[in-house]
Structure 1
């Protein structure tokens, strides 16, 4: 397999995972025969690699609950919908403010004057 995530996932080297990624949905290829999809429960950095523990896997049909990955291994992270929505709303609000202040329009004033 040569798993490369889906269009909306962000490719991140395993070495960049930290506590902010706990709780996020992730996918990765721990070996050439397996693709894993799950929610990160914990991230542990070790010399030469990173261990990812998955949430809710214990006792689930023989699935591993943790995976050791080399630091350079690509891990694909689902976008955080709340953060994406928040930044989109901030951008839109900023544009509305610009338009209300009049800084969004350059050039001649085309309004009718009495």
Structure 2
């Protein structure tokens, strides 16, 4: 299949997954014929690879609830909306602070002259 994620997904090596990724939506190809989309329930590191357990898969028409992947395999994460929103707010707040301090007009003498 050669799945490479969609435009808004971030490619991450399976070996780089950690506890902060639990609960995030993920997509990956466990083999040449399967494409998986799901939410991460757990991540286990093993010698030579990573096992990803998916949330809500048990009893769903014979789907696997966990997959073992080599650490070098790309998996694709949906953007974390909370983190993205938080960084956007911080950026905007920083720009407002700079504007209030007059940071946009550096070099100009803003003192009153008689």
Q: Same fold (TM over 0.5)?
A: yes
Please report how far the alpha carbon of residue 104 of structure 1 lies from its aligned counterpart in structure 2 after TM superposition: 2.0
Runs of 5+ in structure 1 lacking a partner? Answer: none
C-alpha distance in structure 1 between counterparts of 2:113 and 2:32, whole Å: 72
Matched residue SS, 2:29: strand
Please report how far the alpha carbon of residue 70 of structure 1 lies from its aligned counterpart in structure 2 after TM superposition: 0.3
Partner of 2:19 in structure 1?
A: 19
Partner of 2:48 in structure 1?
A: 48
C-alpha distance in structure 1 between counterparts of 2:93 and 2:37, whole Å: 35
Please report how far the alpha carbon of residue 46 of structure 1 lies from its aligned counterpart in structure 2 after TM superposition: 0.3
Runs of 5+ in structure 2 lacking a partner? Answer: none
Partner of 1:3 in structure 2?
A: 3
C-alpha distance in structure 1 between counterparts of 2:99 and 2:65, whole Å: 51
Q: How does the TM-score come out when normalised to structure 1?
A: 0.93
C-alpha distance in structure 2 between counterparts of 1:85 and 1:104, whole Å: 25
Partner of 1:96 in structure 2?
A: 96
C-alpha distance in structure 1 between counterparts of 2:69 and 2:19, whole Å: 17
Partner of 1:77 in structure 2?
A: 77
Q: Deviations over 1:59-110 (max 9, x none)?
A: 0011000000001010000110011001000000000000000112234368
Matched residue SS, 1:104: helix
After superposition, the CA RMSD in angstroms is 1.7
Q: How does the TM-score come out when normalised to structure 2?
A: 0.93
Q: Deviations over 1:5-57 (max 9, x none)?
A: 01111100000011110000000000001110000000000000000000000
